[in-house]
Chain A
Amino acid sequence: MERTAIHRRVEWRTATVVERRKETDSASTLELHVAGWPGHDAGQHVDVRLTAADGYTAVRTYSIASAPDGDNLELTIELLPDGEVSPYLVESVAPGSPVDVLGPIGGWFVWHPEQTEPIQLIAGGSGIVPLMCMLRTRAQHNVTAPFHLLYSVRGPESIYYADELARLAAADFGAAITFAYTRTAPPNWPAKPQRVRAELIATAALPASQHPTAYVCGPTAFVEVVAGMLTQAGYDASRIKTERFGPTGK
């Protein structure tokens, strides 16, 4: 594995929620203002710390969705119905609220605009978030190297950033985007709803002969299966980067 630079010291900063907007029925995007935000690489994450009135705190990790943009940062959070933190962030947190943010964190699951090789992105559900940051950063830097996205969702209503993804696909040197529907496909969709399978990797992912780097992100089981299929398809294991969204192993 490659060596990377030792990263700068991270510190807790107080962020202010600027806006909370619905992404889907069960996910919201939070725009945060973080004074002195040092910028981030596409794929990095932050720790978010919430403090209750009596001082009790809870910390969870969230990938950064937005391309670097001064002191503003966007996160997209999926609601886990019995979760401690996500229901509050998705449904309750109000603009103006302070939350603490530590980061940016992570120097491995990142894409740099200087990379010239073709990129295969594979997302399961909220695993799209860090990959969206890569797509946005690519657009921001006018990178023309091929980007393919395979995005597995339950149904059309669970797609995050749907309009923007369509624009990113239609732009000059647009990203090629394939959706895989696991529960409900849109009308006239050529395939039955199903989980991502090796046949789909074979048709929708960049061929191994192009030596792509792959970024795979989603629930643990999804990442485990997809990374295995990519290896089977001939991808170089050292060029498959994975991020598994905890906490559950299911």
Chain B
Amino acid sequence: MDLSPTTQLEMQRRMLRIRRFDERASRMVKRGQIPGTVHTSIGQEAQVVGACMALGDGDYMSGNHRSHGHPIGKGSPLGPLMAELVGKATGVCQGKGGSLHLADFAVGSLGESGIVGSSIPIATGAALSSKVLGNGKVSLAFFGDGAANQGCLYEAMNLAGVWKLPVVFLCENNQYALSTPAHTVTSGVIAERAAGFGMPGVRVEDGQDVLAVHEAVVEAVERARRGEGPSLVEVVTYRFNEHSEGLRLGTDYRDASEKAAWVERDPIVLFRQRLEREGVASAEELDALEAEVMAEVDEAVRFTDESPYPDPSVAFKDLYTEPIGAIA
């Protein structure tokens, strides 16, 4: 796949944004600076960015509980996302959503979801809207290997199949549903399940390679845009950190050597090596890019720190489009 140097550098930039943002969030939640828990995408950046950058700016995307990478991958600025994690008024959801429920409609991010599988029908519906209105937009639904066993995925694939909706079902197979290895709860190969719905299903075995993911998703997006209907793309990847940070889960269910082998295949390191090797960018340029991204994250934290908490009265706002009377 022939991608311009600008596009390739943008891929690296977005992967770095996810990594540095999540590293910072991980530290902040451990220090009590972020309430609740966060679920990081560290290790899965190639899969997130490869997929998101296969979409156009106007296209839609819905996500899941591993939730920061998707809007960042779609191009959302970091400040309001970080402010949302802390619960500030300037947060992308004004402090109503938090880490699990980030949404940034300005970049087509229709929302992350704390309920496994629950946002798959949302992206499917966005595709229905594109089809009825004829606006050419494509939707992408991110979900994990755990959600691959939720019935709503199959209801959605069937509906999208019969209506030929422009939607891409993207399974982020990081091989664990919290502590449960996918192979112990998932029968067969997820990508092969597409055949039952008469749609293409592809498995990207190397989900650490941003270009491999990108290529597979571009094909699915183009097919959707041509009016040929949905596709399923399964990407095999790995999360480097705990399922959830801020909770002390306390059991080591993953083999240390397995984890070490995946950490060896850090998607950001791999892509940097490729960019240098192929002369897309020099080491100095790539160092500068990393510094720029680090500065963006610092700025996001500064923006968050300087932002106020929401006024308590806002707790009753936006339940309905207009207040409906006594609810307090």
Q: Do A and B bind each other?
A: no
